[in-house]
């Protein structure tokens, strides 16, 4: 599904005596040429979408073996209310040596809508990576032409859903090797129907999605010989929906097909169980992952299917709003239980609002670590201790894996100096092919972050690029390494985090 489906698979090493803390990451966006700021268009009207974007994609668009970066732009939801910002989405080519160049105009991917999320995949199986971009308004489909340029085929393919799209996934729903599309929608919003809300201090601020009472149905497109066809109704996914934000793809019940999980904001989450033929039933409540362990719907943002406890099935983790924990659902033979308290991340997450996230073995010790990016959705005066001019800004968090579903927080988010921003999308991948996973983070109304992984290596690594006989990448490929009576299990799928596409 990605041009370089790299998974850092390492064998566990023996525990060593604690060493002096060393940075895990270095902020290198400015020196790399990755010059980008997500403009939310925030004004005095507090239009809800302003506080939710935007996303990041890591993809090798030109097939040179280096991951490039595509950054989604916002703008002005209601241009007549203020001076319009006309900055487009941006594509940065990886030049190697830690340097990037803006190739947006040459590649013809400078879309000017109010952007949200992005997915990457080779839908036409021609060997290069295509992109689907969600917006507040019609979405956009970019077909890679194989010559360093893209062609906007939205109208021809009939996939320009006009609603407020958020996270999106390329997914093979019926095992025919064609990539279909699942588009997550948030709510039926318009400036004309905006409502007035207030924060904890009685000041005007952004609303909760439930103030609108207008959840929007998601969309499922099936790809076939005649192009994409809307199968939302016949595929069963019109029967349940909420205020959709995050989406993850994974075979949670190990029956050989791709299931879909949607993280909804303040409404029950949805687990779309695939019958193997591309028809779905919502089994979230039955399987124990639609609400938390107390039976309460939470504000779902970022989400990932991942085998945290190394037992061969996919667990679930998702980020939530302040005063809710980020939630961990442990999978046992296709049924989930809320086991958040055992992870060691609950107390930290209660004080922040999480968005993008990813489990990766950042220090190559054979254990999955966790990185979570944060940023409030209503202004908190106590956040001004982090950044005086931004009451939404919060620090991000790194948790070191201790083995299984247990973690401990790493100070300063793994940086020498704590980074403070209102962070949203986060994408994970090896930008310099050194075997260590780097992170690109979209920050609301501030510069993008590029966290270069400099963690001391504790083990070796091996990369896999799963391809079928004709050379096409295989999305969702499962890779398992067995050693010493144990198994290490990873899935090559870019669809996790928040609004983003990963390596």
Task: Name residue, tokens 């097909």.
Answer: 257
| Domains of the chain, first to last | 25-492 (2.130.10.10)
pLDDT of residue 6: 45
- So what's the pLDDT on residue 486? 78
Distance CA 176, CA 278 (A): 10
Going by C-alpha positions, the residue among 113, 93, 146, 100 that lies closest to residue 39 is 113
What's the pLDDT at 275?
Answer: 98
The pLDDT assigned to 20 comes to: 52
DSSP bridge pairs for 312: none
- Which of 191, 185, 352, 169 shows the shortest CA–CA distance to 264? 185
Q: Which of 134, 229, 142, 141 is nearest to 186 (CA)?
A: 134
Q: Of all residues in the chain, what percent carry a pLDDT higher than 70?
A: 94
Identify whether the C-beta of residue 401 lies closer than 8 Å to the C-beta of residue 370: yes
Which stretch of DSSP H or E encloses residue 354? strand 354-360
pLDDT for the residue numbered 5: 39
- pLDDT value, residue 410: 97
Please give the chain's pLDDT, 503 residues, in tens: 333 334 445 555 555 555 557 999 999 999 999 999 999 999 889 999 999 999 999 999 999 999 999 999 999 888 666 555 568 999 999 999 999 999 999 999 999 999 999 999 999 999 999 999 999 999 999 999 999 999 999 999 999 999 999 999 999 999 999 999 999 999 999 999 899 999 999 999 999 999 999 999 999 999 998 899 999 999 999 999 999 999 999 999 999 999 999 999 999 999 999 999 999 999 999 999 999 999 999 999 999 999 999 999 999 999 999 999 999 999 999 999 999 999 999 999 999 999 999 999 999 999 999 999 999 999 988 777 777 788 999 999 999 999 999 999 999 999 999 999 999 999 999 999 999 999 999 999 999 999 999 999 888 888 888 888 777 787 788 888 888 887 778 888 899 999 999 99
- The pTM of this model reads 0.95
Helix (H/G/I), strand (E/B), else coil: 258: coil
The pLDDT score that the predictor gives to residue 320 is 98
Quote the pLDDT of residue 16.
59
What is the CA 193 to chain-centroid distance, rounded? 28
pLDDT of residue 80: 66
pLDDT of residue 82: 57
Structure tokens that stand for 369 in this block: 């670590």
Q: Are 194 and 45 in contact (CB under 8 A)?
A: yes
From CA 306, how far away is CA 422, in angstroms rounded? 26
To which residue do tokens 């991948």 refer? 429
Q: Return the HEC string of 109-146.
A: CCCCCCEEEEEEECCCCCCCCEEEEEEEEEEEEEEECC
Return the CA Rg of the chain: 21
Q: By the 8 A CB rule, do 48 and 207 touch?
A: yes
> What pLDDT is stored for residue 85 in this prediction?
55
pLDDT of residue 69: 99
Residue 3 has what pLDDT?
Answer: 35
The two structure tokens encoding residue 187: 């709510």
Tokens of 30: 């400015």
Looking at residue 439, the DSSP 8-state letter turns out to be E
360: nearest Cα among 348, 350, 370: 370
* Residue 374 neighbours by CB under 8 Å, 6+ apart: 352, 353, 354, 355, 394, 395, 396, 397, 423
What the block records as the tokens of 403 is: 């083995």
pLDDT recorded at residue 33: 98
d(CA 418, CA 99): 23
């Amino acid at each position: 599904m990605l041009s370089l489906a790299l998974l850092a698979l390492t064998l566990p090493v023996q525990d060593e005596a604690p060493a002096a803390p060393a940075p895990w990451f270095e902020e290198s966006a400015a020196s790399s040429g990755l010059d980008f700021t997500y403009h939310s268009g925030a004004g005095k009207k507090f239009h809800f979408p302003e506080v939710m974007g935007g996303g990041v994609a890591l993809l090798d668009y030109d097939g040179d073996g280096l991951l490039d970066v595509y950054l989604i732009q916002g703008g002005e939801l209601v241009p007549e209310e203020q001076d319009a910002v006309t900055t487009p989405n941006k594509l940065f080519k990886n030049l190697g040596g830690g340097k990037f160049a803006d190739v947006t105009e040459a590649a013809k991917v400078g879309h000017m809508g109010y952007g949200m999320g992005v997915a990457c995949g080779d839908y036409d199986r021609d060997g290069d990576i295509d992109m689907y971009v969600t917006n507040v308004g019609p979405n956009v489909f970019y077909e890679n032409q194989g010559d360093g340029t893209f062609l906007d085929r939205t109208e021809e393919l009939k996939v320009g859903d006009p609603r407020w799209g958020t996270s999106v996934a390329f997914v093979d729903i019926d095992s025919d090797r064609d990539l279909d599309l699942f588009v997550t929608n948030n709510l039926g919003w318009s400036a004309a129907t905006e409502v007035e809300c207030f924060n904890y201090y009685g000041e005007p601020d952004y609303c909760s999605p439930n103030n609108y009472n207008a959840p929007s149905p998601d969309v499922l497109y099936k790809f076939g010989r005649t192009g994409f066809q809307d199968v939302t109704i016949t595929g069963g996914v019109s029967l349940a929906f909420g205020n959709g934000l995050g989406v993850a793809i994974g075979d949670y019940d190990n029956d050989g097909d791709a299931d879909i999980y949607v993280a909804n904001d303040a409404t029950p989450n949805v687990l779309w169980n695939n019958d193997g033929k591309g028809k779905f039933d919502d089994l979230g409540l039955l399987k124990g992952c639609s609400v938390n362990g107390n039976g309460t719907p939470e504000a779902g943002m970022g989400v990932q299917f991942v085998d945290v406890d190394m037992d061969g099935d996919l667990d679930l983790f998702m980020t939530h709003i302040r005063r809710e924990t980020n939630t961990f659902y442990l999978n046992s033979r296709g049924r989930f239980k809320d086991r958040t308290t055992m992870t060691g991340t609950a107390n930290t997450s209660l004080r922040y609002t999480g968005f993008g996230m990813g489990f990766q073995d950042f220090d190559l010790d054979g254990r999955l670590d966790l990185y979570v990016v944060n940023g409030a959705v209503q202004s908190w005066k106590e956040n001004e201790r982090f950044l005086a001019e931004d009451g939404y800004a919060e620090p991000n968090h790194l948790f070191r894996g201790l083995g299984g579903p247990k973690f401990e927080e790493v100070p300063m988010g793994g940086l020498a100096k704590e980074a403070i921003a209102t962070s949203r999308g986060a994408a994970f991948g090896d930008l310099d092919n050194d075997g260590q996973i780097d992170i690109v983070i979209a920050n609301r109304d501030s510069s993008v972050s590029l966290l270069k992984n400099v963690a001391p290596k504790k083990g070796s690594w091996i990369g896999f690029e799963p391809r079928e006989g004709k050379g096409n990448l295989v999305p969702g490929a499962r890779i398992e390494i067995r050693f010493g009576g144990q198994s290490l299990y990873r899935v090559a799928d870019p669809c996790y985090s928040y609004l983003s596409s990963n390596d």
